Amino acid sequence: MYAWDTAYAKMEAEANQFAAMVLMPPDDFREQTKSFLAPTLAQFEDLKDRYEVSLTAVVLNWLKTTDRRAMIVVSKDGFIDWSWGSDRLFRSGVYFSAKKETIPVPEKSLAALGPACGKEDVRHPAGVWNARVSVLESVVFADAHEMTISLLIYPKDAPSRWKVPEDESELMDTYEAFKRGHR
């Protein structure tokens, strides 16, 4: 993930794609996930065991095939380490550039609250993971790897990236917009 545009990274991506097809046959995988409307990470645990792969590998494979607006976010020490979203989510303009900038996990997210919060999933209102829409977050705290894995499920229909909500209709200073999380 360090240098996506290198020849080695491209070769590694092809090897991962081949391994995913062998370990998680596409037809069987689609059959197993066809009922996943708003899945949580707990639902992927069975698939992890079925295919004998990591939880991250199963979720990434689902993100490549789903028509849902969804994203996996891996965080360490309170900051997003990397994330990957479905094509539909990316096309709606939702992504994190964690390799280009340091992005803290949202203060009210389960990832930030940690295992002490006692929850594995919650529907957040707009303003936690996204300024405009609510998001279903499910988490796994991987103590052995000192990381948190969050699965974010966004509403099926996205607000237009180009239409400004009525309460934001006047021009806003760019710095203020960034501070408030409007991207």
Dihedral angle over CA of 113, 53, 101, 117, nearest 10? 0
User: Into how many domains does the chain fold?
Assistant: 1
Q: Which two tokens stand for residue 44?
A: 């992927």
Answer whether residue 25 shows pLDDT above 60.
yes
Is 93 inside a domain boundary? yes
Instruction: Report the chain's mean pLDDT, rounded to a whole number.
Output: 82
CA count, 13 A, side-chain hemisphere, 171: 1
Is 92 inside a domain boundary? yes
Is 2 inside a domain boundary? no
User: Is 64 within 8 Å of 71 (Cβ atoms)?
Assistant: no
Is 66 inside a domain boundary? yes
Is 126 inside a domain boundary? yes
> What pLDDT is stored for residue 171 in this prediction?
44
Is 112 inside a domain boundary? yes
> What pLDDT is stored for residue 15 in this prediction?
66
Question: What is the helix, strand, coil percentage profile of the chain, to 5?
Answer: 40, 20, 45
Is 128 inside a domain boundary? yes
Kindly state the percentage of the chain with pLDDT values over 70.
76
Higher pLDDT, 128 or 180: 128
Q: Which two tokens stand for residue 128?
A: 């936690």
- Listed in sequence order, the residues at least 6 apart from 149 whose beta carbon sits closer than 8 Å to its beta carbon are 41, 55, 56, 59, 72, 73, 74, 139, 140, 142
User: Is 133 within 8 Å of 126 (Cβ atoms)?
Assistant: yes
Q: Quote the domain boundaries for residue 91.
A: 7-179
Is 1 inside a domain boundary? no
* 99-148 confidence digits (pLDDT tens): 788 999 999 999 999 988 888 999 999 999 998 899 999 999 987 778 99
Task: Look up the pTM and report it.
Answer: 0.78
Report the pLDDT averaged over residues 51-70. Answer: 92
* 148-177 confidence digits (pLDDT tens): 999 999 998 876 555 555 554 444 444 455
